[in-house]
Amino acid sequence: MPYTTINSGDYIESSWANANVRDQVVTPFSTAGIRNSTITSPVIGMLSTLTTNTVTEGLYEYTSAGTWRLPWNLPWGYVAISALPGSFSFNNTLSFSTSTFTFPAINNRNYLVSFGGEFNNGASVTGVTDTATIHTSASTAGSPVPVSYAGIRASFYNASAQETRSTSFVFTSTSTATQTWKFGAVSNASATNQTFIPQLLIIQDIGPQGAPA
């Protein structure tokens, strides 16, 4: 079914009206590429649907920023991450997960980040408090760049203890770009290596912070 432009003098039959009026109130396209090549001059507020049979399937609007987006004023839900980083060692010097994780962020959107994991003081470290946070990929031990100061914390008073903690924070994106983050952990006192095991990482788009982007 083509994208239809109505011209003066067009003769209207029921089949034409059904295909070109009824079915184009919200126009379906099998891919975003076909939509973009078909609707070459979209207008603000125009709606279309993608019938991709993938996670991109659904309703899209043409925004005042000149972009096809999911409805801007609604939450968009679960955001896929590249991978959950594995366990890593730390002590009283801030250490980081050996791998990073990424996710796509859109400017002016709020993201609820929930994370958690297990602190393991297998070296029988006691009387210390351990903290884990999320950092940007630019962080180094001497120059930490936390995404948020929200962290998870555990205090150990028994040998070989294991403690699991979780928390959430809101990240507001200021650009449309791939975010690259990593876990960090540090002990307040002990120079003996301990372990942090990431177990939970969920990112959800919870709605707009500003104008469409």
Residues 165, 166, 167, 173, CA torsion sign: positive
Residues 105 and 164 in one domain: yes
pLDDT digits (tens, 9 = 90+) for 160-191: 788 999 999 999 999 999 999 999 999 998 89
Residues 22 and 125 in one domain: no
Residues 21 and 105 in one domain: no
Over residues 13-27, mean pLDDT: 73
- Domain membership of residue 130 as a residue range: 78-208
Q: Is pLDDT larger for residue 19 or for residue 38?
A: 38
Residue 52 covered by a domain: yes
Percent of the chain with pLDDT over 90: 75
Confidence of residue 1 (pLDDT cuts 50, 70, 90): very low
Give the angle subtended at the CA of 90 by the CAs of 88 and 96, to the nearest 5°: 60
- d(C-alpha 21, C-alpha 189), whole Å: 71
pTM: 0.87
Residues 49 and 151 in one domain: no
Amino acid code (one letter) for 94: L
Residue 5 covered by a domain: no
Over residues 90-94, mean pLDDT: 95
**Average of per-residue pLDDT values in the chain:** 92
Residues 99 and 192 in one domain: yes
Residue 8 covered by a domain: no
Give the pLDDT of residue 43: 86
Question: Does pLDDT of 2 surpass 60?
Answer: no
Residues 66 and 83 in one domain: no
| Best CA proximity match to 72, nearest among 42, 128, 110, 32 | 110
| Best CA proximity match to 135, nearest among 183, 65, 89 | 183
The count of structural domains within the chain is 2
pLDDT digits (tens, 9 = 90+) for 112-157: 999 999 999 877 788 889 999 999 999 999 899 999 999 999 998 8
Residues 111 and 56 in one domain: no
- d(C-alpha 161, C-alpha 86), whole Å: 20
Give the pLDDT of residue 22: 63
Residues 37 and 101 in one domain: no
Residues 169 and 138 in one domain: yes
- Give the Cβ contact number of residue 184 at 10 Å: 24
